[in-house]
Structure 1
Amino acid sequence: MSLWVRALSATAICVALTVGASAADEIQERTIRWGHLNNTDHPVSFGVQKFAEILLAKSGGKMKVREFAASQLGNELQQQSALRGGTQEMLSASTTSLATVIPEFGLIDFPFLFNTTEQADALATGKFGNAMLDTLPSKGLVGLGYWGLGFRNVTNSTRPITKVEDFSGLKLRVIPNPVYLESFSAFKANPVPMAFGELYSALETRTVDGQENPYTVILSNKFYEVQKYVSATNHTFTLNIILVSKAFWDKLSPTEQRLMREAYAESRGYQKEQTRLQTEKALAELQAKGMQYNAIAPEETERMRKAVQPVVDKISANLRPETVKLFNDEVERIRKDVK
C-alpha cells in the first residue's frame, strides 16, 4: 500500500471515530472565512485558532477555517452585511454592532452593570443571552454563543480620569452606538463615533483625545504610542458574539452543524482563560511602556453610574418591554447570586 493510500485511509478512520461512520458521509470539504477586527496577538484570534484546530480534527481535516484578522474584510457592520448576504461565513464581533439590526442587543452595553467577569459571563450564558441568540436567524444570522473580551477602560492624552468631571470636554472615540454616544455625553465628554480601523490615526493626529477599549485591545493596537493615560473606568464589559451566515449554515448537514457547535463549546473555555491571562499581562505591559495608570475610587464609580442612569432609562423605554424585563430580571439575579 502506498503512503498516499495509507494517509487517505487514516483520515477516513479518523473521521469515522470522531463522528461515526454514517455521519462521516455528511461532511464535505469546506473553507470557512472568519473575519474579525483584532490582531493575531489578541485573545479573539487565539479563540479563532483554537476553534479552527478543533473543527479540523473533528471533521477529519475537511472543515477548514481561514482567519481574516485586523479588519481585512472590513468593519463589523460591513462584515455583518456580508454574512447576511451569504458572501462571508463567520464573524466574531462585538454585540454592539448587532444593535443596528436588533436594538435590544444595546442593553448589553449599558454601563456599570457588573463588577466581575463571572457576572458578565452569567448574563451571556443565561436566559437573556440565549434569548438574544434566538432573535438572529430572522436577520440572516446564526449565533453559536459569546466570548468575553474584558472590561472597557478609557485612555487619553490629556489627563487621568479619576472622577466624572474629568471627562468634561474630552473628545473620545466611541463605538457608533446610541448607548455609548449618550453615556459619554452624560459625562460631558464629546463622543466621536468612528470606525475602529481609523482610530490609531485619529489619536496620533489628535483628531480625538482618547478612546475606550479593553486593555488587550489597547496593547495589541499600540495605542500606548499615542496615549499617555489609562484609567480603570471598567464602564462596560465587552462581549463578542460568534456569528455564522444563515445562508451558509442552512447548507450544512446536521452533522456539520453539530461539529460547529461542539467546536465553539470546546474552544470557549480556552478563549475565556486567554482573555483573563492576556488582560493581566496587557495592563502590566502598558505601564511598562510608559502609560500612567490610575484606579477609580468606588464612590466616584457610583457617581458615574448615577450620571448615566437617565440614559439607561431613556433607551430602555424605546425597546421591547418583555426583553427589557428579562434583561433587568437577569441583571438583578446575577448581582445577587454571582460574585
Structure 2
Amino acid sequence: MTFMKLGALSLAVCMGMGMTATTALASTEVKLGYALAPTSHYGVAADKLKDVVEAETNGEFTFSMYPSSGLGGEREVIEGLQLGTVEATIVSSGTLANFVPETGVFDIPFLFRDLGHARRVLDGPIGQEILTKFTDQGLVALAWGEQGFRHVTNNRNQIAEPKDMAGMKLRTMENPVHIEAFETLGAAPTPMAWPEVISALQQGTIDGQENPLSVITSAKLYEVQKYLTLTGHVYSPAMILVSKIFWDGLSDDQKAAFAKGAKEASTAMRAFVSDVETKGVEQLKAAGMEVGTLTPEARAEFQKALAPAYAHYAETYGQPLIDAIIATQ
C-alpha cells in the first residue's frame, strides 16, 4: 500500500471515528424508572416506548432502564421528574392524586363495569382532560396505561362478605380513595411503598395486599400469600409521564416521537393485562393459591357497606362527573 493510500485510509478511519463520536455525544440519555420487574406489564411498556422513540429519532435518545424501583418509590421518581433528574416513568395511580387530585375519581370502588368501559373513559374526553392537568405540576402525561382490576390477597382468610375484612392489616397504595374505602369496610389499611411490601408480607407485618392480577403474577405474590379473592373492587390505571423540564427541551418532531411511543406503549401494556386477566387465575391456582370470587350478591353487600365513602367521594369529585363516568358506553 502506498504512503498516499495509507494516509487516505487513516483519514477516512479518523473521520469515521469522529462521526461516531459526534453521534454518541449527540445522543441524549433518558432515565426511565418503574416499580415492577422487566417482565411485567410496565417492562413491556417501557421496552415499547424505548424502541419506538429510538427508531423515530434515529438514535437521538438512549434509554437507561431502572426497573424494580431502581430509582426509588413511585413518589420519589415523580418528584425526580419535577426536578429534572429523571426523564420518564411508568407509574400506578397510587401516588398520582398527590400531584393531580382529580385522578382519584378513577379509584372509586366498583365504578367501572369492565376493562372496555374503563378504557373508553380514559381515552375519551374525561380521561384526556385530566392528562392536561399534569403540566402545572412540572409533568407531562403522555398516555394512560393500565394495570387492571384490583383483587385482595392475604394470609388470614378467604373473603366472602365485608365482615371478613374486619381488622385485616392490608397494604394499600398511598392513595386516599383506597384508604378511605378499606377503612369504611373495617379493614386496617397500611399505606406502603411497593419495595417494602414483599418483606412485610414475609414477616407478617401486614396480612395482605391488593393489586391487579398483572402485579400478583409478575411479582410472584403466590410465594408469600395463601388466599386470593377476585374482588375486582377497583380498576387500576397506570400513566406514562415525562419531565416537563425534559419535554420543553425537545423539538416538535422529538415530542411527536415520544407521543407515538407512549401510545404504542399503552397498547402493549393493555394487551399484556388482557392476557393476564385471561390466564392469570389458573397460573395462580397452579402455584398453590386458594382462589375465591365474590358473588353478585356479595358485591352488592360491599357497595352497600361503602355508602358513607361514596357520599364523601361525591363531595370531593362531584356527582355529575361520577355519573358521567358511569354513563359512558
TM beyond 0.5? yes
Aligned equivalent of 2:325, options 309, 331, 335:
331
Aligned to 2:240: 242
Contact 1:141 1:246 in 2 (8 A): yes
How much does 1:270 deviate?
2.2
The residue type equivalent to 1:328 in the other structure is I
- State how far apart, in whole Å, the 1-side matches of 2:17 and 2:306 are: 61
> Relative to 1, partners in 2 of residues 1:3 and 1:330: Cα closer, same or farther, differing over 3 Å?
farther
2:306 is paired with a residue of what secondary structure? Answer: helix
Distance 1:272 1:6 in 2: 43
The alpha-carbon deviation at position 278 of structure 1 amounts to 2.8
C-alpha distance 118-6 of structure 1, shift in aligned 2 (>3 A): farther
- Show CA shifts across 1:153-188 (max 9, x none): 000101111111211121111112221111011111
1:50-104 CA deviation, whole Å, 9 max, x = no partner? 1111111111122222211110101111011110111100111112311112222
What amino acid maps onto 1:177 in structure 2?
N
Match in the other structure for 2:116: 118
Measure, in 2, the Cα distance between the counterparts of 1:299 and 1:267. 37
Q: Which residue is equivalent to 1:278? A: 276
C-alpha contact 1:36 1:70 (8 A) present in aligned 2: yes
8 A Cα contact 2:146 2:266, kept in partner:
no
Deviation for aligned residue 1:115: 2.4
1:57–1:7 CA distance, 2 compared to 1 (3 A): farther
Give the aligned partner of residue 81 of structure 1.
Answer: 79
Q: What is the CA-CA distance between 1:315 and the residue it aligns to?
A: 3.4
Deviations 1:23-58 (A, max 9, x none): xxxxx5222111110111101111110111111111
How far apart, in 2, do the equivalents of 1:45 and 1:294 lie?
Answer: 29
1:14 corresponds in structure 2 to: none
Aligned residue in 2 for 1:181: 179
Alpha-carbon distance in 1 for matches of 2:310, 2:104: 10
1:258 aligns with 2:256: yes
Q: Secondary structure of 2:302's partner?
A: helix
| C-alpha distance 276-3 of structure 1, shift in aligned 2 (>3 A) | farther
Aligned to 2:127: 129
Matches of 1:136 and 1:199 in 2, distance apart? Answer: 28
Q: 1:8 to 1:270 in 2, by over 3 A?
A: farther
For 2:190, the aligned partner's letter is V
Identity %: 32
**What is residue 15 of structure 1 aligned with on the other side?**
none
Tell me which of 55, 58, 62 is aligned to 2:56.
58
Task: Tell me the residue number matched to 1:231.
Answer: 229
* Local SS of the residue matching 2:95: helix
Aligned match of 1:43 = 41
- After superposition, give the CA deviation of every residue in 1:131-166 in whole Å (9 maximum; x if it has no partner): 111111111000001111111100010111111121
Q: Indicate conservation of the 8 Å contact 2:108/2:313, yes or no.
A: no
- How far apart, CA to CA, are the structure 2 residues paired with 1:140 and 1:63? 21
1:164 corresponds to: 162
The answer to whether the 8 A contact 2:314-2:322 is kept is no
Superposition map of 1:95-114 within 5 A? 95-114=93-112
Equivalent residues of 2:171, 2:210 under 8 A apart: yes
User: Amino acid of the residue matched to residue 316 of structure 1?
Assistant: A
SS at match of 2:174: coil
- Higher Rg: 2
CA distance in 1, matches of 2:227, 2:256: 46
The residue identity in structure 1 corresponding to 2:55 is: A
Deviations 1:287-310 (A, max 9, x none): 111000011101111111122132
Structure 1 residue 333, shift from structure 2 partner: 2.2
Query: Is the Cα contact below 8 Å between 1:123 and 1:330 reproduced in 2?
Result: no
Provide the aligned length of Structure 1 versus Structure 2: 315
Q: Output the CA distance in 2 between the equivalents of 1:164 and 1:116.
A: 22
Equivalent pair of 1:96/1:105 in contact (CA under 8 Å): no
Q: Indicate if the aligned counterparts of 1:96 and 1:109 stay in contact, CA closer than 8 A.
A: no
* Runs of at least 5 residues in structure 2 that lack an aligned partner in the other structure: 1-8, 21-25
TM-score of the superposition, structure 2-length normalised?
A: 0.90
- Residue number among 190, 193, 210 corresponding to 2:191 in the alignment: 193
Instruction: From the superposition, tell whether residues 8 and 163 of structure 1 become closer, same or farther in structure 2 (CA, over 3 Å).
Output: farther
Q: What is the root-mean-square deviation in Å for CA atoms of aligned residues? A: 2.2
8 Å CA contact 2:170, 2:188 repeated in 1:
yes
1:266 Cα deviation from its structure 2 partner: 2.7
Q: Tell me, what secondary structure is at the counterpart of 2:146? A: strand
SS in structure 2 at match of 1:268: helix
